[in-house]
Amino acid sequence: MAQEGFVLWFTGLSGAGKTTIARALEPILRERGLRVERLDGDVVRQSLTRDLGFSREDRYANIERVAFVAKLLSRNGVAVLASFISPYRDMRDHVRREVTNFIEVYVSAPVEVCAQRDVKGLYARAVAGEIPNFTGISDPYEPPENPEIVLPTHEQSVEESVAAVLAYLETRGLVPRPAPAVGVS
């Protein structure tokens, strides 16, 4: 039986834990026999969309390009782990319409927690006015209204978040359940 593709679309503020959770989930999905590709906002902006800035128009163009890649992968049976702030609901709705088995994963954490986690110092620079159009500071973030999965990363561990995503995927039949451990006699 061929693997059915899907797109886990991790959305949330910078520092909420999107990439961390996707990285932790990736090897587990591979161990269960899935073909997996991880698309990460920082990495994509270094290659596929390096010509774009962070204006609303450029953010849309960025997500449109990523949606195209995710569509190609998911319709060919690949599990796509996409980690993008994607701050606007209508841009996430566009991706939902374009790809196979879109699953919106809201990685939720208060902006104060995200700022505390910020190892790059981006929040401090944004508050100081050095970074324009910074989501959560000088640009809006529109939380999902009906995401399939909500991960409150300020209240749960990475392992708990990964377990919640796996449980959802297993329930939908998109990921095989792990084989039961066989006792040695």
Structure-token pair, residue 48: 């596929």
The span from the CA of 100 to the CA of 34, in Å, is 15
**DSSP three-state, residue 164:** helix
Structure-token pair, residue 38: 């991880």
User: Is residue 138 flagged as an active site residue?
Assistant: no
**DSSP three-state, residue 59:** helix
The span from the CA of 136 to the CA of 12, in Å, is 10
State the DSSP code for 77.
T
The span from the CA of 50 to the CA of 58, in Å, is 11
State the DSSP code for 13.
S
In whole angstroms, what separates CA 44 from the centre of its chain? 13
Structure-token pair, residue 98: 């374009």
State the DSSP code for 162.
H
Report the DSSP pairing between strands 149-152 and 36-40. Answer: unpaired
Q: Which of these is catalytic: 14, 74, 86, 161? A: 86
Which residues are part of the catalytic machinery?
Answer: 86
